[in-house]
Structure 1
């Protein structure tokens, strides 16, 4: 339903374009809202869900197969995250005097999702 509605509103008929919108929003949230735990946590949960599989496509169920997630890995925005996973780009990855357990959980979720995407990419 979400895929269909987003396709209608944005005029996107291609699954790859819809995924690009999701990943673009994820990167924006993580870059600019990295110190806002509620936004960061929910954003990372979406990234984590997408790295497992995503319910897109016509008549599809949750797609968790390697070839389906591979579409996600091919996006330039995902490649950006895989190549630039530092606090310079994502502030919540930095360690400072105010780092806490929540920050560590966010880092763990982020790297778990990236690890899954990397494994799909490596085949």
Structure 2
């Protein structure tokens, strides 16, 4: 009997105009945006204080201002941290270790 390995899945994230995919095995949980104190952004989630990573600079976007419609994605990267994103979802199937094509556009997968 042949075993079929299911395609890996990834969560679609948007920061400003940039869209990228994060493999689900790196995503622990999604949270609604919370108030971020001044200084290096940190957040207290489920008894642990974690750094908040704003990926806007990596995607050539200007710094953002926290808004209730945004999300925090708890990520293992390899350390645990919260990523501040504008939108999260949906989950899509991806090809291992390559980019994905969504709506006719190539989207990076952050393996």
TM-score, with structure 2 as normaliser: 0.23
Q: Indicate the structure with greater helix content.
A: 1
Q: Which has the higher contact order (CA 8 A, sep 6+)?
A: 2
Question: Structure 1 or 2: larger strand share?
Answer: 2
TM (normalized to structure 1)?
A: 0.22
